[in-house]
Amino acid sequence: MNFTVQHIARLSSTNSFLAQNANIARLDEGYTVFTDEQTAGRGQFSNRWESEGGKNILLSILLRPDFLNISDHFYLSIAFSVAVVSLLEEYNINAKIKWPNDIYVNEQKIAGLLIENQLQRDQLKYSILGLGLNVNQTVFPKELPNPVSMKLLLGEQFCIEKVLQDFLGKLEIQYDYLRTGNYHDYFLNIYYKYLYRFHQKRTYKDEHGVFEGTIVGIGSYGRLFIKDSNGNIRKYQFKEVKFL
């Protein structure tokens, strides 16, 4: 797959730019918009993504995964997350995937992912993959509870363009696995390898209150399975459980 990268110095949001593009039907798969600064960066569930201009990876990519069943759309999220973790691993950063799609180093957030799907009947017509990766930023707004960056972790200044190209290479590898059709076992195994808090007894909160539990896996449509102290498996869709 060829990635066509368009650089725009300043945007409200790379995901919004792509979603609102009148010519999106004509854009080739792999079209990528990259910006230095977002004035209204978006995270998961309408959260804002805060980023200092010119110091981080801020991009969105257009994909057309019409070969995926609707019930398997979370595998695209897995492929995307694994690409980011693999990128960081290449830079000697041990990162984990916090369900559904934040990237953590220890207890600090280094990247956020946002996937927006356009459906047509029972197929994914196209998907927009948004990535915010903290690269060279060292000072963050006080309201962000736990940010970290590549520079803070390694004490080095990184070339944004090189990190971008390295990431696209990692994404292409994972997306090619999706295209094979035999991706279920591969992605589940690698996802569990990188899954934050997997098989660790920790504290969570849902609509019934605070409880101790252990993440034991994911199910269809990306539901998170947590085994509580009574041995019951609690199943959650996005935004239904909070990590404490």
pLDDT tens digits along 35-78 = 998 887 655 444 555 667 789 999 999 999 989 888 888 999 99
Phi and psi of 243, rounded to 5°?
-80, 125
CB-based burial label for 231 (10 Å; 0-12, 13-18, 19+)? exposed
CA angle 143, 148, 152 (to 5 degrees): 130
Buried/exposed 40-77: b ≥16 CB within 10 Å, e otherwise? ebbbbeeeebbbbeebbbbbbbbbebeebeeebbbbbb
Residue 220 is classified by DSSP as G
Comparing CA positions, the residue from 198, 202, 203 lying closest to residue 99 is 198
Q: Report helix, strand or coil for 244.
A: coil
Ordered structural domains, the chain, with CATH:
4-194 (3.30.930.10), 201-243 (2.30.30.100)
Determine which of 35-44, 81-90, 100-109, 188-197 has the lowest per-residue pLDDT on average. 35-44
Query: What is the token pair recorded at 11?
Result: 């945007």
Share of residues in the chain with pLDDT > 70 (%): 95
pLDDT of 120 reads: 77
4-11 vs 31-38, strand pairing mode: parallel
Query: Angle, to 10 degrees, between the axis of helix 160-180 and the axis of helix 184-194?
Result: 140
For 153-166, write each residue's pLDDT tens digit: 999 999 999 999 99
Indicate the average pLDDT of the chain. Answer: 92
pLDDT of 219 reads: 92
Reply yes or no on whether the pLDDT at 131 is more than 70. Answer: yes
Reply yes or no on whether the pLDDT at 92 is more than 80. Answer: yes
Q: What is the model's pTM?
A: 0.92
For 163-215, write each residue's pLDDT tens digit: 999 999 999 999 999 999 889 999 999 999 999 999 999 999 999 999 999 99
Share of residues in the chain with pLDDT > 90 (%): 75
pLDDT of 45 reads: 41
Mean pLDDT, residues 6-35: 91
pLDDT of 46 reads: 44
